[in-house]
Structure 1
Amino acid sequence: MADKRIMLAHGDGGALTHRLVQELFLRHFPHPTLHGLTDGALLPQPNGPMVMSTDSFVVNPIFFPGGDIGKLAVAGTVNDVAVSGARPLYLSVGFILEEGLLINELDQVVHSLAQAAEAAGVAVVAGDTKVVEKGHGDGIYINSTGIGVLPVGRDFGYHRIAPGDVILINGFVGDHGLAILSKRAGLTFDTPVQSDCAPLNGLIETLLERVPEATSAVKFMRDPTRGGVATTLKEIALSTGRDIYLDESSLPLREEVQGAAELLGLDPLYLANEGKVLVVVSPEAAEAVLAIMGEHPLGRDGAIIGRVSEGTGQVYLRTPLGGHRILDMLAGDPLPRIC
């Protein structure tokens, strides 16, 4: 495009809006439904119940080690659909652009979003763009909605969780939070910390297809994003009325993340993740699930990190010295604009 930056006229529905859609967005999003440029996407009727999730992304900065706001929008939305047991199929994306945003930066974000969607096997079938005055935004915000179909027989919910169930995670915790913090604060580490931002539907589908009697072995799934692993597990504990015991020595945690978190006075268990899933499984299936998880690129560092017991909704962290620490919900976000 001849224009170097987003102008208010790019959002007025006229010639510049048309050019932005035709020359930038449609170049990256190939689905024929979108190219029809109608007011709604006509989609085939799914064979099963539909699952829909919507999310908004305001991460600062928009480019960070391991990803950007475009990749994050896909991963965050796809993962919310996938942990419900559904197969994600479609995305809608809404862009709120600030006047003055470099168009080549927008192009990079849209390209990244399109690549992430293609890798996840989902199609962008609807979208919208708005422009706000300079100083009324922060470069770019993205709202995305995901739609998937729930295969017959899948039932994952709090009601399935029982005492004795085992909790697994597919890899290292806290990477996304530290990656954003390091970029925002200009911190450097001997070993760079990268965001774990990734769509997890491929890993989740592999687990559900390969685990014997998966519909009964896998009880529940959640992605521990804002508030981290600790807050997510506390939500599970409160919703089930069960206690959860975590083993600190079993938690997969990079040395550089642990060291940086200690230096900054942060707890890695409360740092956001954007490529992790907590899976609650029956005890007899735990090792099989872990083995299958380990065969997938996004599950090679998976681990069994805790168990469910009778209780009143508490989360306890067993320390290497044999003591226990109570984990509660995050109170006051130490790192806003994380996703």
Structure 2
Amino acid sequence: MDADTSNAGRVDSVLQKIERTRQARRHKFYLHDEKITLSHGSGGKSTHNLIEGVFAPAFSNPLLDAMDDAATFRVDGTDDIDHRLAFTTDTYVVSPLFFPGGDIGKLAVHGTINDLAMAGATPLYLSVGFILEEGFPIVDLRRIVASMAQAAKEAGVAIVTGDTKVVQHGKADGVFINTAGIGLVRASWLMGQAQLEPGDKVLLSGPVGDHGIAIMFAREALDIESDVQSDTAPLHTLVASLIEAAGEGIHCLKDPTRGGVATSLNEMALGSEVSVALDEQSIPVHPEVRGACEILGLDPLTIANEGKLLAIVAPGVADTTLQAMHNHPLGRDAAIIGTIQAEPPGMVFLRTDIGGLRVLDMLVGDPLPRIC
């Protein structure tokens, strides 16, 4: 069997799994709402109901149906998995605009870079579109733009095109930012939510929940002493290290942003028709974040992150991948937190600290709206 035939076989297999997943989503997600609510932007179950009820049926195609963080394709339209590009887009409406550890501009650059990185791509170019509210202070706009420029420079990407629109006072909330990004896929194999296999290990690059809790403290002015800061960071250099260390053993990468680790793993379990078993004791959480979640009745596994990634890898490269994470500044506190199982498909389970077992579902509702 030659390489082209082998590649074609792998692509066909993935497309078949994506189609089965698309059919499964139709039975899992239901849009009963008559109006949009804030929970539709949470990244959790309401978001998925909206996507599957409105957008996915209208825009369906093989690239979109994969539901990965970025679409990967060749410009010549072939299915060859070499010389591919990655393309992604995102919109940022975070409130407040400035928060401990970052701001909306820095977040927009990092978030777009990370979606490209999760496709195994080196980010190259970004676009940026600003929706500005009449009366928004120019001094704040300069601060946001300077932050974006600095973040892009540090990450080695260029902002090469953009757009600006202004709406009347009261028709927006200061500034919203839309971005798109394009990158060159370095992984010469297929990665994504359809690639998980039973026996794979689940790795997490560091403590969860920092970003969401930092935003909550900044927004609500809660009377809780804390120095929690957003973890916003560009992850492409960490991903490059993992690709170099583990190669084709990396099956899927995902940054657990809206909806947190719980939602991301549920998406992957559904996408690959597998089950995920997590060990709660292995999941890193900063004490300040854990304490805040206990006080507020939140689950750190459903809280957003902006500088962490999940890596699903073959068991034979799990230790190598973990060491590569530990050797990188953004993965010093990484851990192996779970295992992929065959049954029951589409489910995520958590072995609790007290020895119990509970289903870990997607985020329901939206305790922290507008976190990114």
Please report the TM-score for the alignment, with normalisation by the length of structure 2: 0.76
State the partner residue of 1:159.
194
Query: Which consecutive residues of structure 2, in runs of 5 or more, have no partner in the other structure?
Result: 1-74, 77-81
Which residue type is aligned with residue 148 of structure 1? G
Pick from 128, 135, 139 the counterpart of residue 93 of structure 1: 128
* Per-residue deviation, 1:154: 3.2
Q: Following superposition of structure 1 onto structure 2, how do residues 84-163 of structure 1 map, counting pairs within 5 Å?
A: 84-151=119-186, 153-163=188-198
1:228 paired to 2:260? yes
Contact 1:85–1:154 (CA under 8 A) maintained in structure 2: no
State the partner residue of 1:306.
338
Where 2:124 maps in the other structure, the secondary structure is strand
Q: Following superposition of structure 1 onto structure 2, how do residues 26-37 of structure 1 map, counting pairs within 5 Å?
A: none
CA distance, structure 2, for counterparts of residue 300 and residue 320 of structure 1? 23
1:325 paired to 2:358? yes
Where 1:131 maps in the other structure, the secondary structure is strand
CA distance, structure 2, for counterparts of residue 153 and residue 240 of structure 1? 20
CA distance, structure 1, for counterparts of residue 292 and residue 196 of structure 2? 34
Q: 1:152 to 1:313 in 2, by over 3 A?
A: closer
Q: Which runs of 4+ in 1 moved over 4 A?
A: none
Report Cα offsets for 1:198-221 as digits up to 9, x if no partner: 110111112112x14x1x211101
Larger helix proportion of the pair: 2
Which deviates further from its counterpart, 53-62 or 200-209? Answer: 200-209
CA distance, structure 1, for counterparts of residue 147 and residue 348 of structure 2? 37
Where 1:105 maps in the other structure, the secondary structure is helix
Say what the alpha-carbon RMSD is for the aligned residues: 1.5
Which residue type is aligned with residue 217 of structure 2? S
Fraction of identical pairs, as percent: 54
State the partner residue of 1:61.
96
* Per-residue deviation, 1:261: 0.8
State the partner residue of 1:291.
323
Which residue type is aligned with residue 316 of structure 1? F
* Per-residue deviation, 1:158: 3.0
State the partner residue of 1:250.
282
1:185 paired to 2:185? no
CA distance, structure 2, for counterparts of residue 268 and residue 82 of structure 1? 24
Report Cα offsets for 1:121-179 as digits up to 9, x if no partner: 11000011111111111011000000001136132023321111001111010000000
Task: Return the index of the structure with the highest Cα Rg.
Answer: 1
* Per-residue deviation, 1:189: 4.2
Contact 1:48–1:152 (CA under 8 A) maintained in structure 2: no
Query: Which consecutive residues of structure 1, in runs of 5 or more, have no partner in the other structure?
Result: 1-44
Please report the TM-score for the alignment, with normalisation by the length of structure 1: 0.84
Where 2:324 maps in the other structure, the secondary structure is helix
